Structure 1
């Protein structure tokens, strides 16, 4: 399903926040939380990663190459940058060049783990009923948006999951990691290591990997104080 090649924007505040989505979805995945972020005085800009939505072809979709795309397309020096899953992996690499003041990483895909890539590619053909079964806490609008996103998704982009950056050292800027509760991406031992390295780590209990869709209110509570900084 074609879509207009234009990044969605919410609000017109004096500060800028940028949002980077996960694999399989697109920039519309933030629509439940972006307006609330904008209410804190932000102009909120969400972008599409390669192989997704209005993004570039999937052949460019590795976290390192996506980093280059972020630096090319995002407004410079945003006050806040938020990345989810694979989007967090790209954001992690982009933060020094992006010159954002603060970063929030939502259940980041930083660590390599065993994945059935063929099964992931097959998700492109998921029915509405299958998506609802997989995501029982999502709003109906999110299910609709996900079906539209999957229609534009290039399954070749799953190869990006073979090039993840690994657990980072000290954060380049003040950074918060918001984890699903429990998280399959950042296990407890690794979460403790991140805390020791200077990352703030918070968990949204009961939320799945897409924290901001499973529990929008919980996701927005996690960075309390950060949105106003």
Structure 2
């Protein structure tokens, strides 16, 4: 499936951005220009079931929105051999499934949804309820977001297919950490990540991942603390 994309910049280096669940390329509205200023041509996608990209096809949510389908879409849409690829949350899971075929020079997994630090924490019905979230609710859950980010989230939720959340429920029943990285890889963690706990972070270091934490930032690091997000990429840009 060919995905809807948005680009910033015209530099010689290429950066790929893959957003998390419930949102779309607009969640990178500050990151895209920041990378463009650093000499990148930045390409951000809308994953299937999000934004302006098509909905998935199949009889069940897993058939429509399994991680392999998402990964195939990335390979169908994005160039191989980019200088940098960043995936946030669900985007980190999708990038992991596509990275051996996309072969970016470097990969960044920003608080990736590879597993939950506390088993049983993921409830797809709770995620699906965000489809009807109000401005007040989003502000309460994301107190560090700028008002413009709340506006974007309301707009992206209107286009989001909540079946994407139900597709992930069976995945997290058997979720596990990945193997050794296929390309040089940074795992960027929120200050108190509910996805990758301290023991898992150490295990990832042992596998060959660079692991850095952005203290004080919530799950969507780049919207909570853009300066901290970019600073944690020192040496990777």
Normalising by the smaller structure, the TM-score range is: over 0.9
Deviation at 1:38, TM superposition (A): 1.2
For residue 217 of structure 2, what is the aligned residue in structure 1?
Answer: 207
Cα pair 2:14 2:84 within 8 Å, conserved: yes
| Number of residue-to-residue matches in the alignment | 223
Is residue 229 of structure 2 the alignment partner of residue 225 of structure 1?
no
Report the CA distance between 1:76 and its aligned residue: 2.0
Distance 1:91 1:22 in 2: 11
Q: Is 2:11 the counterpart of 1:30?
A: no
Deviations 1:97-143, CA, capped at 9 Å, x for gaps: 00111000000000154222111111000011111111110111110
Alignment counterpart, residue 117 of structure 1, candidates 111, 121, 124: 124
Q: Give, in whole Å, the separation in 2 of the partners of 1:82 and 1:170.
A: 17
* Residue 101 of structure 2 is aligned to residue 103 of structure 1: no
CA distance, structure 2, for counterparts of residue 63 and residue 218 of structure 1: 29
Deviations 1:83-110 (A, max 9, x none): 0011100100101100111000000000
Runs (5+) with no aligned partner, structure 1: none
Residue 185 of structure 1: aligned partner: 195
The Cα shift of 1:161 comes to 2.0
2:53 equivalent in structure 1 = 55
Tell me by how many angstroms 1:166 deviates.
2.4
Report the Cα distance in structure 2 between the residues aligned to 1:70 and 1:56, rounded to whole angstroms. Answer: 13
Given that 1:179 and 1:186 are in contact with CA atoms closer than 8 Å, whether structure 2 keeps it comes out as yes
- Backbone CA RMSD of aligned residues: 1.3
Query: Are the structure 2 counterparts of residues 159 and 199 from structure 1 closer, same or farther at C-alpha, using a change threshold of 3 Å?
Result: same
The answer for unaligned runs of 5 or more in structure 2 is 58-63
Q: Which residue of 1 aligns with 2:205?
A: 195
CA contact (8 A) 2:125 2:166 kept: no
Instruction: Report the Cα offset of residue 160 of structure 1.
Output: 3.3
Alpha-carbon distance in 2 for matches of 1:168, 1:38: 30
Show the 5 A alignment for 1:137-152: 137-152=144-159
Q: Distance in 2 between matches of 1:55 and 1:82?
A: 19
Q: TM-score, normalised by structure 1?
A: 0.94
